[in-house]
Amino acid sequence: MTPPVPDLKAHYRSRRSSSLANDFFAPCLKVATAYRRAAGYFSSMALVTWAEALPRLVGERSLTIQLIACPELSRADIAVLRETIDDGKRAAYREMLVERMLEEVIAFADDPGDTGLRARILAWLLANDRLEIRFAFAGHVDEPGIFHEKIGVFDFPDGSKVAFTGSANETLGGHKRNYESIDVYRSWVAGDADRVAIKAEQFDEAWRGEAEGLEVSRPSQALIARLKAKAPERLPKPKPLPRPDGAEDPRWRHQTEAVTKFLEARAGVLEMATGTGKTRTTLKILERLIDEGQIQGAIVSMDGTDLLDQWSQELDAWMLKSDRRWLIYRHFERHRELGKFALDPERAILVISRGQLSKVLDRLPAPQRKSMIIVHDEVHGLGVPSLVATLKGEHPKFGWRLGLSATPDRAYDDAGNDFLREEIGDTLFRFPLEEAIRRGVLSGFDYVPLEYELTDGDRERLKAVYSREARRKAEGSPMSKEEVWTELSKVYKTAEQKPDVFRAFLKSRPDIMKNTIIFVETKEYGNALLETFHDYTTRYRTYYAEDDRDHLVQFARGEIDCLITCHRISQGIDIQALENVVLFASARAKLETIQRIGRCLRADPSNPDKRARVIDFVRPASPGDRFPNADQERCAWLTELSKVRREADA
């Protein structure tokens, strides 16, 4: 008997010269009549990405698919499932998790871009009875985590089967790009038939909800019907829709100009306002260098898990849309792939936190670095003293060095700025806020300064700083100017009258609590404001260092109105619908203020007439002041910036 898939091997491992999509999945999907798959955890975005992979591999031919997956759980979700003793309540919560994820997919389907296209592919598969989904939750341990069994079974017209198990993720990335491997069992091969039968039975047992320690939920018929209602008549082609970049829209021509400047210089900084496409510009540079054979590897480094995650996702999406078979590695937070990259960095990109950078550089000899590019997002962060000490002299060994920032200069830090110039290079290109607003790349904004006065308590805190300065001087360990400025600044940033001023303002403008991020200096100060916020909305969350990242995700999805934070999202995070930023705290240096107001200046395609608002607190001049205070300087600058209008509106 001729096998339905000739030359099928017993083991596959994704490499740069091959992919699971082309070598295993596509040949099997091409002739299979059914595909049964159990594949780890899914977020709503992972689900629509998974759906996008299928048409690329199989087209519109008849094929039925059964998918078992687990909704991606936040720490809060896991805690609820762990602490809920009542079986009925636990089942209800699991159903809520399933409903929540599919509600997000329904919302995605209205998106005019690539995400919406993927969601409509999923809806088409469901509407045409090609796909049935069930969701599994592990319940076999005291602290239930996720259902993470990765097995699959293909059924062929002649009754033969292929089963596989292994690390491959059921996404286009898992098929094509990730460093994955699977073991394959073929029913027509002696010794494999029993294993195929076992894997098929394991899947069917889980599908029926009969597997020990596994709870299986089905989406409600009403929810499935709503998803089917979003389905187009024909299977959408999984080709990404055009993006408004420099190649298609003259507003974005600055990206092409920046690419040209960098490729001519090979090293330097691109100073581009927040929201004007630093990531996209970097991808264009990588495309040119890779396609021309100029580089064999790349390192992308920055600070902050949110920003690192965002870069990883951007690189994933970029690589999936191209024919380049480069591997993406991560080394930050829970990801530990530095060793894999260092072992073989050729045709690979490592996304790594800046604090871990020295570990990989120690393992990359100078000759190897000559054929690589190193990229630093928010490059001003590279100039901190600890990194100056550990990374001095390391960057010139790279053939290409790129720094990105809206504000590359470090305030009051000549040594740090000198280090950045020596390691990365001079600023090659500037595209400031004013020009970005004028061209329509960023939204304009209204500036609302709220005056406050110092209280007697504030003045006592200021006196305490000066007393501490005098005491330290007498003890022979004087405070530096920076220490004194920092402590004095903290008093102003946490001034006691600001909450009352804001409370009075909210009475006339309660709409300010919608689509808003509020920046405070300390967690304690922010928590003291929460009672006031509760009078206007209950849809708010805090986002401090220890808070669940799901709070940010909920805010980005529009599930909550207001986010209160300190520093975690001052830079790098793209929430286009954000309209208001409230600055209870902002530094004298422009760097922090630019990063913070930049959160709400990003253009929103669904709201082309968007005009943002920046609410600020300004201390008026005191009698005898010879110079404007920091608040007044910031107020004067933001007032002028708010007067900038789009060229089309001028």
Residues 341, 342, 344, 350: is their CA dihedral positive or negative? positive
Residue 55: band (very low, low, confident or very high) from pLDDT cuts 50, 70, 90: low
Q: Do 219 and 311 sit in the same domain of this protein? A: no
DSSP 241: P
- Tell me how crowded residue 480 is: count the other CB atoms within 10 A of its CB: 9
Query: Is a pLDDT exceeding 70 seen at residue 278?
Result: yes
Q: What percent of the chain has pLDDT over 90?
A: 42
Mean pLDDT over 48-72 rounds to 69
Q: What order do you get walking across the sheet with 214-217 strand by strand?
A: 11-13, 181-186, 161-166, 150-155, 34-42, 64-71, 131-138, 214-217
> Is 4 contained in some domain?
no
| Pick from 109-118, 392-401, 533-542, 620-629: least confident | 109-118
For the chain, give the mean pLDDT: 83
Q: What is the pLDDT of residues 350-409, one digit of tens each?
A: 999 999 999 999 999 999 999 999 999 999 999 999 999 999 999 999 999 999 998 888
Which pLDDT tens digit goes with each residue over 320-342? 677 777 888 999 987 889 999 99
Check residues 184 and 545 and name the one with the higher pLDDT: 184
Distance of CA 523 to the CA centre of its chain: 23
Is 446 domain-assigned?
yes
Q: What is the CA radius of gyration of the chain?
A: 28
Give CA–CA dist 359/364, Å, rounded: 9
Partnered with residue 41 across adjacent β-strands are 70
Phi–psi pair at 351, nearest 5 degrees: -100, 120
Q: Does residue 118 form part of some domain? A: yes
pLDDT digits (tens, 9 = 90+) for 7-25: 888 988 765 545 676 778 7
Q: Judge if 273 and 220 occupy the same domain.
A: no
pLDDT of residue 235: 73
151: nearest Cα among 190, 218, 205, 217: 205
CA distance 323 to 176: 10
Count other C-beta atoms under 10 Å from residue 521's C-beta. Answer: 20
Find, among 516, 509, 635, the residue nearest to 569 by Cα.
Answer: 516
Name which of 323, 57, 36 is nearest 165 in CA terms.
36
Is 206 a member of any domain?
yes
More confident residue, 118 or 159: 159
Number of compact structural domains in the chain = 3
The whole model's pTM is what?
0.64
* pLDDT for residue 498 is more than 60: yes
Helix H or strand E encompassing 195: helix 193-207
Percent of the chain whose pLDDT exceeds 70? 82
Q: Which of 172-186, 268-282, 362-376 has the lowest mean pLDDT?
A: 172-186
Crossing angle of the two packed helices 87-108 and 44-58, in degrees rounded to 10: 60
Helices marked H in 379-493: 385-391, 414-423, 433-439, 456-474, 481-493
pLDDT of 500-556, one tens digit each? 999 999 999 998 888 899 999 998 999 888 888 888 888 888 888 766 666 776 777
Q: Are 59 and 29 found together in one domain?
A: yes
User: Angle formed by the axes of helices 498-508 and 523-534, to 10°?
Assistant: 30
Tell me, yes or no, whether 185 and 291 share the same domain.
Answer: no
pLDDT at 147: 47
Residue 181 lies in a domain: yes
Within a domain: 162 = yes
The verdict on 218 and 283 lying in the same domain is: no
591 and 530 both lie in a single domain: yes
Same domain, 271 and 142: no
Whether 180 contacts 174, CB under 8 Å: yes
Rounded to whole angstroms, the Cα distance separating 67 from 451 reads 58
Q: Does 461 have pLDDT greater than 90?
A: yes
Q: What is the pLDDT of residue 609?
A: 83
Same domain, 385 and 514: no
Decide: 578 and 599 in contact? Cβ < 8 Å.
yes
| Confidence at residue 500, expressed as pLDDT on a 0 to 100 scale | 94
Let me know whether 554 and 578 are in one domain: yes
CATH code (residue 50): 3.30.870
* AA letter at 563: L
Judgement on whether residues 54 and 137 belong to the same structural domain of the protein: yes
Provide the residue type at 536 as one letter. Y
293 plus 382 within the same structural domain: yes
Q: For residues 268 and 307, state if they share a domain.
A: yes
> Is the CB of residue 499 less than 8 Å from the CB of residue 527?
no
pLDDT score for 175: 43
Residue 259: is its pLDDT beyond 70?
Answer: yes
Domain annotation covers residue 382:
yes
Whether pLDDT at 240 is above 50: no
Q: Which residues does residue 69 pair with via DSSP β-bridges, in sequence order?
A: 135
Confidence of residue 290 (pLDDT cuts 50, 70, 90): very high
> What is the model's pLDDT at position 53?
60
Asked if 156 contacts 33 with a C-beta cutoff of 8 angstroms, the reply is: yes
Give the neighbor-by-neighbor strand order of the sheet with 580-583. Answer: 445-451, 612-618, 580-583, 516-519, 562-565, 540-543
- For 158, the token pair is 């002649």
201-227 pLDDT, tens digit each: 989 998 988 877 778 888 888 888 888
* Integer angstrom CA distances of residue 615 from 447, 522, 559: 6, 18, 23
CATH number at 378 reads 3.40.50.300
CA–CA distance from 159 to each of 4, 29, 200, 522 (Å)?
10, 15, 13, 65
Domain with 149, as residue range(s), is 11-229
Instruction: Return the ∠ at Cα 540 (arms to 536 and 545), rounded to 5°.
Output: 145
> Does a structural domain hold residue 342?
yes
Please tell me what DSSP assigns to residue 442: B
Largest CA distance in the chain: 98
Task: Supply φ then ψ for residue 401, to 5 degrees.
Answer: -135, 125
On the question of pLDDT at 243 being above 50, the answer is: no
- pLDDT at residue 115 in the model: 67
